[in-house]
Chain A
Amino acid sequence: MSGAAPDQFAWLKDIWLPVGTFILGFIVSRLTLTKKERKEVEQANYDNTASLIEQHEAAYTDYTAAIARYLDAPNASPENFVEIATTGDRYFIRLNFLATSILSDKVDVAAREQILLPKIRAAVARSLPQHYGTLRSIADKHGFPYRGELRRTDYGAIYDVAEKYGPGPEWEDPLEA
């Protein structure tokens, strides 16, 4: 037992300096982006944001189309109901993914403030609870089996972003938005 441990870890003594220097150098290089690198990061964030918004809008179109089909249908069928549930779920999952990108600073700052945060705040305050409330009430009325409920854990990033960035401006004019 005695002496075994020091021998066993002796090699650590030889490598800690180069490894430590490497890690330190890496950290310093990460903390000090050149102007060119900063521009590249900003551009990547912008491109990322544009593609996130595009995908989010596709999910939004599918979701509203599904509700509209349900409204147009002469009788409320279980298929219509399931369609609202799944497209709505996909819409909010998209939004949740978008929120994870905000949390990891992978979005354009201006677009975050002007476009993304209002969507997320509106989802927390209105559309998420309404989605589940509506599904529940349709299911009850037409006898569809449905046990879905709004759980924060399903959309963790959405709620984390809403808490991190707060409730936003005191009021927002829809005509200026």
Chain B
Amino acid sequence: MREIGVGLRIKYRLSEVPTEKEASEWAELVERYKSEGLDAEEAGLRAADTLFEIVPNLVLKAEADTIEALLEQAKKK
């Protein structure tokens, strides 16, 4: 099974992979929005938007991911 954080990142195009703790915060918030009357999809998106940074044009691709990771490390060096 894919890790929930990675799944969230892909589904909502998040700038970062949420930690497990952040993911459960997200799940709690989803439940709250649902109890307020939103449907599941809408609640999920609203919760992600509240807690995380959404990058609408994020494209997850192997090549760009590799370059991104390497450049990120190089920046820190």
Q: Which residues of A contact B (CB under 8 A)?
A: 60, 63-64, 67-68, 70-71, 76, 84, 118-119, 121-123, 125-127, 130-131, 133-134, 137-138, 167-168, 171-175, 177
Interface of B is mostly: helix
Asked whether, in the complex, the Cβ of A138 is within 8 Å of the Cβ of B77, the reply is: yes
* List of 4 A-B pairs having minimum Cβ-Cβ separation, nearest first: A122-B64, A67-B70, A174-B60, A134-B71
- Complex CA–CA separation, A119 to B60 (angstroms): 10
- Complex CA–CA separation, A119 to B67 (angstroms): 12
In the bound complex, residues from chain A placing their C-beta under 8 Å from that of B63 are 60, 119, 122
The total of chain B residues at the interface (CB under 8 A) is: 25
- Complex CA–CA separation, A71 to B66 (angstroms): 14
- Complex CA–CA separation, A167 to B13 (angstroms): 13
Contacts A67-B73, A127-B67, A174-B10 aside, 19 further interface pairs with beta carbons under 8 A come to: A60-B67, A64-B67, A64-B70, A67-B67, A67-B70, A68-B70, A76-B77, A118-B61, A119-B63, A122-B59, A122-B64, A123-B64, A126-B67, A134-B72, A138-B74, A173-B10, A173-B60, A174-B65, A175-B2
Interface of A is mostly: helix
Asked whether, in the complex, the Cβ of B77 is within 8 Å of the Cβ of A126, the reply is: no
Q: Give me 12 A-to-B residue pairs in the complex whose CB atoms sit less than 8 angstroms apart, sorted by A's number.
A: A64-B70, A71-B70, A71-B73, A126-B67, A126-B68, A130-B71, A134-B71, A134-B74, A134-B75, A171-B10, A175-B2, A177-B61
In the bound complex, residues from chain B placing their C-beta under 8 Å from that of A137 are 75
Q: Quick one: which of B60, B73, B74 has the most chain A CB within 10 A?
A: B74
0 or 1 for each of B44-68: is its CB under 8 Å from A? (1 = yes): 0000000000011111111111111
* B32 at the binding interface (Cβ < 8 Å): no
In the bound complex, residues from chain B placing their C-beta under 8 Å from that of A171 are 10-11, 13, 58, 60
A141 CB to nearest B CB, Å = 8
In the bound complex, residues from chain B placing their C-beta under 8 Å from that of A64 are 66-67, 70
In the bound complex, residues from chain A placing their C-beta under 8 Å from that of B62 are 174, 177
**Which residue of chain B has the shortest Cβ distance to A170 in the bound complex?**
B13
Return the contact of B61 from the options A76, A131, A167, A174 (Cβ within 8 A): A174
